[in-house]
Structure 1
Amino acid sequence: MKRVLRDNGLGIAFGLLFLAALVGQAIAGNADYNDHQTASGGQSASLGEYVTSSSFAVDVAENWQSEYLQFTLYIFATVWLVQRGSPESKTTDRIGGETDEQQQLGRHTTPDSPPWARAGGLRTAVFSNSLGLVMGALFVLSWLAQSVAGVVVRNAELLGRHQAPVSWLEYLGSADFWNRTLQNWQSEFLAIGSMVVLSIYLRQRGSPESKPVGAPHVTTDESG
């Protein structure tokens, strides 16, 4: 058990942090929701009712979709774009999909390589892009979840003001949807751009997200 925890500590730690934050968001969100309901003369909701509501779903999904968008764009952008001196970037001589030898494909595989890396054809093509494809699919699914839950919440607000509800397509073009969406996107782009640039000049000893402490600022694609 100790070895399992040691070998998977990063994934386990962030999984637990995710669950703790999600529970905290549910509790705080339920309290905030009930405050608004009380102020407007509406009916309060139990924690169980709140976490199964569109109000909770839209808040969760709008954050998930921005995170998956960030990683999807970064995965594909770093194939072709580089940043000299950043450990988050490839070197300038590796721009593009790289050679089979660099990627350990086909006859360049090792005995421990995944079977689809040596299979060739469609299977290798799919496996070669599987990370970006899955991240992209998760973004689309969470974006759809946000839009569906969002239109339910929006229509509840409109009906409460005795206004006509909107369709899903109308909601996609609304200021409410894009305000929710873009306020998350801009923060994600700022965060990842800051990481790329700051890691050129700043260090964190022992972290693979940083260059070695003594590495020159111009050193690219090297982790400490």
Structure 2
Amino acid sequence: MKRFLRDNGLGIAFGLLFLGTLVGQAVAGHADFNNRQIVDGGSEISFWSFLTTSEFAVDVAENWQSEYLQFLLYIFATVWLIQRGSPESKSPETIGVETDEQQQMGRYATEDSPKWVRAGGWRTAVFSRSLGITMGVLFLLSWIAQSIAGLAAYNSEQLAQLTDPVTWPQYVGSADFWNRTLQNWQSEFLAIGSMAVLSVYLRQRGSPESKPVGAAHAVTEDTG
């Protein structure tokens, strides 16, 4: 058990942080929702009822989709784009999809390589793009979930104001939807861009996200 916890510490730690903050968001969101209900002359709802509301669902989904979009774009962007001196970037000599030898594919695969790498054909082609494909699917699913939950929340407000509800295509093209979406996207792009640039000149000893403390600023793809 100790070895399992040590070997999976990063995933476990962030999994627990995710659950803790999700619960915190639900508690705070429930309190805020009920406060607004009272102000608007409505009735309070229970915590469990709040978890099934479109208001809670859209707040969660819109954050998820922006995170998966961030990683999706970064995965593909770092194939062809570099930031010289950043450990978040490949070296200039390895721009592109790289050779089979560099990627340990084809005749360069080893006995320890994943089965689908050693299998060749379509399975190797799919596996070599599996991370990007998975992130793309997760982004699409969370984006759809956000749009559906957002539509329900938006139409609920429309009906409360005695105005006509809108259809899904109308909502996806609305200012409300894109205001929610773009305010998350811009923060993700700022964060990942800042990390790529600041890691050229700043260090964090012992972190694989940082170069060795004594490494020159111009050194790229050198972690420690």
Q: Please state which band the TM-score falls in when normalised by the shorter chain.
A: over 0.9
Q: Secondary structure at the match of 1:97?
A: coil
Counterpart in 1 of 2:15? 15
Offset of 1:43 from its aligned partner? Answer: 2.0
Matches within 5 A, 1:113-192: 113-192=113-192
Q: Which moved more, 1:107-116 or 1:200-209?
A: 107-116
Q: Secondary structure at the match of 1:159?
A: helix
**How far apart, CA to CA, are the structure 1 residues paired with 2:148 and 2:47?**
21
**How far apart, CA to CA, are the structure 2 residues paired with 1:115 and 1:163?**
57
Aligned-partner residue type, residue 195 of structure 2: M
Offset of 1:52 from its aligned partner? Answer: 1.2
Give the gaps of 5 or more residues in structure 2.
none
Aligned-partner residue type, residue 126 of structure 1: V
Q: Which moved more, 1:38-47 or 1:95-104?
A: 38-47
Q: Which moved more, 1:60-69 or 1:39-48?
A: 39-48
Aligned-partner residue type, residue 176 of structure 1: D
Offset of 1:118 from its aligned partner? Answer: 1.5
Q: Which moved more, 1:129-138 or 1:42-51?
A: 42-51
Matches within 5 A, 1:1-224: 1-224=1-224
**How far apart, CA to CA, are the structure 2 residues paired with 1:132 and 1:51?**
31
Offset of 1:23 from its aligned partner? Answer: 0.3
Offset of 1:106 from its aligned partner? Answer: 1.4
Please list the CA deviations of residues 80-121 of structure 1 after superposition, one character each: whole Å capped at 9, or x if unmatched: 101110000001111111000000001111211101112111
The two structures, once aligned, show a CA RMSD in angstroms of: 0.5
**How far apart, CA to CA, are the structure 2 residues paired with 1:206 and 1:138?**
31
Offset of 1:222 from its aligned partner? Answer: 1.1
Aligned-partner residue type, residue 138 of structure 1: L
Please list the CA deviations of residues 121-150 of structure 1 after superposition, one character each: whole Å capped at 9, or x if unmatched: 110000000000000100000000000000
Q: Secondary structure at the match of 2:145?
A: helix
Sequence identity of aligned pairs in percent? 71
Give the gaps of 5 or more residues in structure 1.
none
**How far apart, CA to CA, are the structure 1 residues paired with 2:43 and 2:55?**
14
Offset of 1:185 from its aligned partner? Answer: 0.2
The runs of at least 4 aligned residues of structure 1 exceeding 2 Å deviation read none
Q: Secondary structure at the match of 2:101?
A: coil
**How far apart, CA to CA, are the structure 2 residues paired with 1:208 and 1:186?**
26
Offset of 1:10 from its aligned partner? Answer: 0.4
Q: Secondary structure at the match of 2:24?
A: helix
Count of matched residue positions in the alignment of Structure 1 and Structure 2: 224
Q: Secondary structure at the match of 2:83?
A: coil
TM-score, normalised to structure 1, is: 0.99
Aligned-partner residue type, residue 209 of structure 1: E
